[in-house]
Chain A
Amino acid sequence: MAHMAEPAQFSGLQESSRTILDHYQSQVRTRRIYTVVSIVVFLIVLGASLDFANEANSGKFFERLPYFFDFLKSFVPNSPLEIFRAMFDLPSPYSDGSIKFDYTSDRVWITDSFYIPNFFYQLAITINIAIVSTILGATGAFLLCFFASTNLVGAGLTRWVVRRVMEILRAFPEIVVAGLLAAILSIGPIAAIIAVSVHTIGALGKLFFEVVENADMKPDEGLQAAGASWLERVRFAILPQVLPNFVSYTLLRTEINVRASTIIGAVGGGGIGEVFSLSIGRDHAAKTYAIIILLLVTVICVDQFSAWLRRRLIGKQSFEFGRGAA
């Protein structure tokens, strides 16, 4: 085989070295061909996807792009103070009778003279939906997870069934649960709570049983030797090991659920999500910014608080989770 354009340092090699060099170079060539082919395939898929997305969209990307900035321009509040007024339900000087500048009528009166601004009230609903559904979901996951782990129930039918149930709960679209319940119970927070809880059982259940499977089995052997029942083994051998991790995962889930319940809210589950989707749909700039700021602050606070609590509970390990549960 001819070696075209061979670098000078390769001339005069021995026969054995020459073979190794040939082999190496042919491998490099194969690898390059693979790389190029996969990049080309990848680009074709990407291009097709983008084209498909653009075709399927009701507005085309490049046609709509100029209007995007128009939209931004129409989304400038009359004055920065307006955002503040919208947030705290104070009367607006721009008031013209339309709901765009009507902040005061949404006040939630607790007593005759004391009110909670509407957005804060809605935010409280959303956060409570998230917390309640995390508690319910974590309880369900806690009860299920021991039956899904190989080290506690073996590889039998129970384990298989429980795992499949968890998978289905996890993958079942939340909005369908919420929509079905909304049709039965009328639209409201309860549909959102149940929908988010159901998903949480599946998501946390998976993480929980993985923790249980990684538990040290020596305490369990000790208890087994002393004649403890299955429940006693779980309670005294497994639980003390896994509880910190469980709590940590539950806190992490609370963060995710705050976001999830906002989204469910936007679909009709009540709370801040619904108010937000109404105000952005109606071009109420000040209200929209007020809600964005509130949501931003909430998400940051919840994240920071749960990070702090997790760090206290189990130290640095708490930050080495993947995001797989989301």
Chain B
Amino acid sequence: MSNLAVNAADRERLLAAYPEVFHRSFMQRWGLVIAAVAVTVYLAFCFSFFKVIPTFVNGNWDRAAIYLQDWYSWRAQPRLRFQNGQVMPQWTSRRQYPEGAAIDWLRPTSNGGYTVLFGGENRLEVTPSQVDVYIDGKLYPVAIKGDRAVLPAGAPARMVQDDNKVNIRFGFAGQAEIRNSQVYVQRRFLGWANFFFDTQSPFWGRSVTSVAGLMLFGERLDPAQSNASLALDNFLNNGSWQHGDILSKLMQTLVMAFVGTLFATFIAFPLAFVAARNITTSRPVNWGMKRFFDFLRSIDMLIWALFFTRAFGPGPLPGIAAIFFTDTGALGKVYSEALENVDDKQREGVKSVGAAPVIVQRYGVVPQVLPIFISQSLYFWESNTRSATAIGAVGAGGIGLKLLESMKTNADWDKVAYMVLLILLVVFVFDNLSNALRSRVMGKKGH
């Protein structure tokens, strides 16, 4: 390495030549540190103000794991009730199997009991007097005595006596709760149950090839319609997944963004000419129109949405109105700024040949600003496709409201995951669509 030492004369010369490097102001030297300290102090204050630690400590973390697993897996939850010395399975309302289906992990035994398989060497042998729990092939008999189930001696930590019940955890595969009157089984499987056809459908439980074969060559299952249309009908009206409803709600959200942005564009377009200083020469009119835009823009989309929901009832109409009102303001502002930056020569040219005022704008101004206008509107369309979801949740309908309803039940997280996937897909498609349109309108260099 070369020697970079500087002698005293050089030092003086450098100090004199570059004062801005060596004598920086107090803010330049310490500004970043002061800002960092201020931000840290502020965050610490908010940390205690929003009670972060108590909230996290009191969180239902065991439920969190279940909710997250529900995103990508499903549980069957039969209750095996003890009735007259027999074991009778009873299903919740959201049953995943049709009446009398043969279930490979839940088999009746010859003595009126049931065997529940949890994968590997784990299983339960349920009879009304005793439940034999096999964990890794080892037997732990749980006796049912009077009003309680009794944990056997030497049971592993997965089995816990909880008051009158015995709880057994099998990890992801599920859990069981043995009581004196029933065994409550939760069995978890990867994937989404009955995603295509519900248990009412004749296509339920068939493989892909068998469904395809039926649709193409099979005998009509319903004499009134072809198998393909029956399958589509069954798919859309799937009782547990409600594809038809979800898709129509998604469509509503898209329509909200599309129509709202479009109307805002149509209205903002002429109004921007009024607001632009170089086109309408009256200052009070310019000022008034610009404040009008500010007013529309500053009233939050939320306020407009709630306001119109109150007036028209939930649905896409308030969503359209909310987007329309906010974006008329925002687009009006952007448009009028673009108009104020146009090149005057083209207008003068058209004016000089004696064209009427409207023609001057049409041929002297519009060709210059149209690409910018379209590009901005596409930006807004793209971002509204996202914000329409949030607006919908407030009450304006669409997929947002559907999401909120599904989340409130705390049992439909798989459906939430499905809707999120649909939204991600739609946002992705629309981003690319609007990008492609924009680069066509603006030319590759524009954006």
Contacts and interface: CB of A to CB of B under 8 A. Distances in A.
B317 interface: yes
Contact of A53 (B39, B252, B395, B424): B252
A259 interface: yes
A193 B312 CA distance: 31
A166 to B, nearest CB: 13
Given A53-B316, A59-B312, A292 B248 contact: no
Contacts of B383: 323-324, 326
19 contacts: A46-B262, A58-B315, A61-B312, A68-B312, A128-B46, A135-B39, A173-B390, A173-B403, A173-B423, A183-B63, A184-B59, A184-B61, A185-B56, A186-B55, A190-B50, A190-B55, A277-B306, A277-B395, A281-B306
A120 B376 CA distance: 35
A13 interface: no
Contact of B64 (A167, A184, A299): A184
A296 interface: yes
B47 to A, nearest CB: 9
A86 interface: no
B256 interface: yes
Contacts of A185: 55-56, 58-59
A267 B312 CA distance: 19
Interface string B386-414: 11011101110100100110011010010
B88 to A, nearest CB: 33
Given A189-B50, A277-B306, A324-B379, A259 B300 contact: yes
Contacts of B177: none
A311 interface: no
A10 interface: no
Given A179-B407, A259-B300, A173 B389 contact: yes
Contacts of A305: none
Contacts of A61: 312, 317
A276 B303 contact: yes
Interface in A55-77: 56-59, 61, 64, 67-68, 71
A282 to B, nearest CB: 10
B315 A171 contact: no
Contacts of A323: 330, 334, 376, 379-380, 383
Contacts of B393: 175, 267
Interface of B: 39, 42-43, 46, 49-50, 52, 55-56, 58-61, 63-64, 67, 248, 251-252, 255-256, 258-259, 262, 294, 298-303, 306-307, 310-318, 320, 330, 334, 376, 379-380, 382-383, 386-387, 389-391, 393-395, 397, 400, 403-404, 407-408, 410, 413, 416, 420, 423-424, 427-428, 431, 447
Nearest to B294: A300
B249 to A, nearest CB: 8
A263 interface: yes
Contacts of A190: 50, 52, 55-56
Most buried by A among B302, B330, B386, B387: B302
A49 to B, nearest CB: 5
Interface string A272-284: 0100110011000
B427 A171 contact: yes
A53 B320 CA distance: 9
Contacts of A132: 43, 46, 50
Given A171-B427, A190-B56, 14 more contacts: A46-B262, A53-B316, A58-B314, A58-B315, A67-B311, A135-B43, A173-B386, A175-B393, A179-B407, A184-B59, A190-B50, A277-B395, A322-B447, A323-B330
B236 to A, nearest CB: 16
Interface of A: 46, 49-50, 52-54, 56-59, 61, 64, 67-68, 71, 128, 131-132, 135, 167-168, 171-176, 179-180, 183-186, 188-190, 193, 259-260, 262-264, 266-267, 273, 276-277, 280-281, 292, 295-296, 299-300, 303, 322-324, 326
B314 A322 contact: no
Contacts of B313: 57-59, 64
A164 B383 CA distance: 18
A173 B447 contact: no
Most buried by A among B39, B380, B407: B407
Main secondary structure of the interface of A (DSSP, over half): helix
B407 A276 contact: no
Most buried by A among B306, B389, B431: B306
B394 A71 contact: no
B444 to A, nearest CB: 16
Nearest to A295: B300
A171 B424 contact: yes
A280 B307 contact: yes
Contacts of A58: 312-315, 397
Contact of A71 (B294, B298, B311): B311
B273 to A, nearest CB: 21
A299 B404 CA distance: 27
A322 B382 CA distance: 12
A67 B311 CA distance: 7
A276 to B, nearest CB: 7
A49 B390 contact: no
A173 B420 contact: yes
Contacts of B380: 323
A300 B297 CA distance: 10
B438 to A, nearest CB: 10
B302 A263 contact: yes
A50 B259 CA distance: 7
A301 to B, nearest CB: 10
A77 to B, nearest CB: 15
Nearest to A129: B50
A49 B258 contact: yes
Contacts of B64: 184
B63 to A, nearest CB: 7
B325 to A, nearest CB: 13
Closest 6 CB pairs of A and B: A57-B315, A59-B313, A179-B407, A58-B313, A53-B316, A326-B383
A49 B259 CA distance: 7
A172 B420 contact: yes
Nearest to A175: B393
Nearest to B68: A180
A273 B302 contact: yes
B410 A183 contact: yes
Contact of B299 (A52, A186, A266, A292): A292
